[in-house]
Amino acid sequence: MPRKDEHNQTTSIHKAAPHVLVVDDEPDIIELLELTLARMGMNVISTMNTQHARQLLQSRSFQLCLTDMQLPDGTGLDLVQYITQHCIGLPVAVITAYGTPENAVAALKAGAFDYLTKPVSLNHLRTLVKSALSLPPLHSEVTPVENTNNRRTLLGESQPMRRLRATIEKLSRSQAAVYINGESGSGKELAARMIHERSARHDEAFVPVNCGAIPENLMESEFFGYRKGAFTGADKDHSGFFLAANGGTLFLDEVADLPLAMQVKLLRVIQEKQVRKLGDTQETNIDVRIISATHKILSECVENGLFRQDLYYRLNVIELDMPALREMREDIPLITERILAKICRETSRPICHLDQEALAVLASYDFPGNVRELENILERTLALCSDKKIGKNELQLKPKETQQSPSDTPITPDQKLPLQDYLDKLEKESINKALDQTLHNRTAAAKLLGITVRSMRYRMDRLGLHLKK
Ligand SMILES: Nc1ncnc2c1ncn2[C@@H]1O[C@H](COP(=O)(O)OP(=O)(O)OP(=O)(O)O)[C@@H](O)[C@H]1O
């Protein structure tokens, strides 16, 4: 009997059963998906082309859409784009042919929740469906003031911060690997937590790992765990980061610091979705979302041979750039007030405020350590001052910190500057010299310094240097 375009599994219809739209032109796959989903208690509607899928999406309400990539009248990607524009909040997953990872990445970038590879593994399908259906309801967090449920959020009302929060909201409705780039203290870990807390994985663990802080000889046992007796001192079983994060999110901070040998092992685990503890003979299936971050430029680490390109592509499906605090100066007063209120609450003291002059000093400061540095400055200030109104002197910013006394004299290490300040000064001088020599041609100056143009741009931004017009 010829297959009709639409199959309504009336036998399994239940009032509260989630509705799933399946779009595929292969009868075998439709049948497999219909059977599996019906057994999971879903109400399935199937169609074989994108045009009919659009009509169904317009006329009915669904809780999930599964679509093949290659369809007779278009691609699954078209459908993902249609859904992200017209059915906001509806998770859509694509089914890609084996060996076409670029399709999966394109779909994730376009806003797909996740992807399945053919031949479809029923285990993966079930996990995907359960995750998609446990997504929390969509809500807008473009304005954090509306955030009523006490979850931590990135503060700020500037354009970059509002855009960032909107992107985080979108990313939390996907399973894609996210790579967060930004300066130290700019909120990378907070962004990763926000993605996790707003995702289908919010009830499972968020496991943050500082890759730069683990001794190389312990890396494998820390990441993959071990069985009792695997080595001297292994007196009990240990889960390791991957198993601890199973079902949840693993946050790999300072990922550029992973040694190359460990990168190979990490890639294998991410690709296979299986982990084997040291001393174990069995692999365990894992379902972990990876979010990674570094203050370095990862693509440069790849260029320099310090980071594997294949792992870079796995981790960097979607890139999130954290703005530096000095790029959102207008937010400094608001963030300052919120941090002050928080410290006052935590230390049970009356709420205090900065006066206009003190706020102006902070608003013009460059914050190389970003919001973390602002937090430290305010904590120090409140620890030393009991007034309700805080003036600029109470902030105790050194002249260098207020950046009101730039010195043109060359500095040497004997001047006992903090190392970072000393290195920044040297870097600034070299860049300025190269720019002068090349009549402010950034590309030529970068070449002269033996760095890429991207690195040059990043360093100039970081040091607050501008090209002369
Ligand atoms: N926009 C923001 N609003 C409120 N708090 C922020 C914001 N950005 C950063 N913070 C706070 O600043 C501190 C540092 O943030 P976080 O640890 O997320 O930075 P990071 O980029 O991961 O730093 P590092 O690179 O050093 O690991 C945290 O207490 C965080 O809550």
Domain match, 254 and 278 both: yes
Is 151 contained in some domain? Answer: no
Do 165 and 298 fall within a single domain?
yes
Alpha-carbon distance of 165 to 141, in angstroms, equals 6
Of 321, 352, 382, the position where a domain reaches its end is 321
Q: How many alpha carbons fall within 13 Å on the CB side of residue 83?
A: 33
Q: Residue 25: which CATH number?
A: 3.40.50.2300
Per-residue pLDDT of the chain (469 residues; tens, 9 = 90+): 333 344 433 333 445 789 999 999 999 999 999 999 999 999 999 999 999 999 999 999 999 999 999 999 999 999 999 999 999 889 999 998 877 778 888 999 999 999 999 899 998 899 999 999 988 877 655 444 444 455 789 999 999 999 999 999 999 999 999 999 999 999 999 999 999 999 999 999 999 999 989 998 899 999 999 999 888 888 899 999 999 999 999 999 999 999 999 999 999 999 999 999 999 999 999 999 999 999 899 999 999 999 999 999 999 999 999 999 999 999 999 999 999 999 999 888 888 999 999 999 999 898 999 999 999 999 999 988 888 889 988 888 865 544 443 344 444 554 556 666 777 888 888 898 888 877 788 888 888 887 777 778 878 888 888 877 6
226 assigned to some structural domain? yes
Domain co-membership, 366 together with 445? no
At residue 204, the 3 state secondary structure works out as coil
Q: Is residue 367 one of the residues assigned to a domain?
A: yes
Quick one: which of 305, 197, 171 has its CA closest to 249?
197
For ligand 1, pick from 168, 252, 371 the residue to mutate: most ligand atoms within 8 Å of CB.
371
Q: Which of 215, 213, 272, 212 is nearest to 242 (CA)?
A: 272
Q: 264 with 224: CB under 8 angstroms? A: no
What is the atom index within ligand 1 of the atom nearest the CA of 191? 18
Q: Are strands 284-285 and 64-68 parallel, antiparallel or unpaired?
A: unpaired
Is 387 contained in some domain?
yes
156 lines ligand 1 (CB under 6 A): yes
Do 312 and 337 belong to one domain? no
Q: What is the DSSP string of 369-405?
A: THHHHHHHHHHHHHHH---SEE-HHHHT--HHHHT--
- CATH number for the domain spanning 439: value is 1.10.10
Cβ of 190 less than 6 Å from ligand 1: yes
- Write the DSSP symbol of residue 63: S
Based on the fold, state whether residues 315 and 329 are members of the same structural domain.
no
Task: Tell me, yes or no, whether 316 and 437 share the same domain.
Answer: no
Can you give the CATH number for the domain in which 358 is found?
A: 1.10.8.60
Q: Does 310 share its domain with 164?
A: yes
Q: How far apart are CA 128 and CA 116, in angstroms?
A: 8
How many angstroms separate the CA atoms of 376 and 369, rounded? 10
Report the interhelical angle of 453-463 vs 419-437 (nearest 10°). 120
* 193 Cβ inside 6 Å of ligand 1: no
Look at the chain and count its residues.
469
List Cα–Cα distances, 49 to 52, 69, 96, 319, 391, in angstroms: 6, 11, 16, 32, 67
Domain limit, last residue, from 278, 294, 321: 321
Structure tokens at 125: 């399908």
Q: Label each residue of 87-109 as H, E or C.
A: CCCCCEEEEECCCCHHHHHHHHH
- Spatial contact of 270 and 314, defined as CB atoms under 8 Å apart: yes
Are 27 and 13 in the same domain? yes
- CB of 271 within 8 A of CB of 314? yes
Task: Judge if the beta carbon of residue 292 lies within 6 A of ligand 1.
Answer: no
pLDDT of residue 406: 39
Residue 247 Cα, ligand 1 centroid: separation in angstroms? 25
pLDDT, position 151: 72
If one counts the domains in the chain, the total is 4
268 CB-near residues (< 8 Å, 6+ apart):
none
Tell me the C-alpha to C-alpha distance, in Å, between residue 244 and each of 14, 131, 208, 238, 360. Answer: 36, 18, 11, 10, 46
The pairing of strands 70-71 and 74-75 is antiparallel
At which of 262, 291, 321 does a domain end? 321
Measure the CA–CA gap between 94 and 114, rounded to whole angstroms. Answer: 7
Are 351 and 417 contained in the same domain?
no
- pLDDT for 404 equals 41
Ligand 1 mean position, distance from CA 72 (Å)? 48
Distance 185 CA to ligand 1 centre (A): 5
Q: What confidence score (pLDDT) does residue 387 get? A: 82
The identity of residue 434, as a single letter, is A
How close is the Cα of 70 to the center of ligand 1, in Å? 42
| Residue 190 Cα: closest atom of ligand 1 | 18
165, 296: one domain: yes
HEC string for 223-271 = HHCECCCCCCCCCCCECHHHHHCCCCEEEEECHHHCCHHHHHHHHHHHH
Domain that holds residue 31: 7-133
Q: Are residues 193 and 278 in the same domain?
A: yes
pTM of the model: 0.76
392 and 369 fall within a common domain:
yes
Give the phi and the psi of residue 272 in degrees, each rounded to 5: -80, -20
DSSP state of 185: T
Q: Is the CB–ligand 1 distance for residue 220 below 6 Å?
A: no
With respect to residue 1, please indicate whether it lies within any of the assigned structural domains. Answer: no
**Which CATH number belongs to the domain containing residue 289 in this structure?**
3.40.50.300
The pLDDT assigned to 146 comes to 40
What is the three-state SS of 112-144?
Answer: CCEEEECCCCHHHHHHHHHHHHCCCCCCCCCCH
366 within domain boundaries: yes
Domain membership flag for residue 152: no
Token pair in block for residue 321: 């750039």
Kindly state whether residue 243 falls inside one of the protein's structural domains.
yes
Report the pLDDT value the prediction gives residue 150, as an integer from 0 to 100.
59
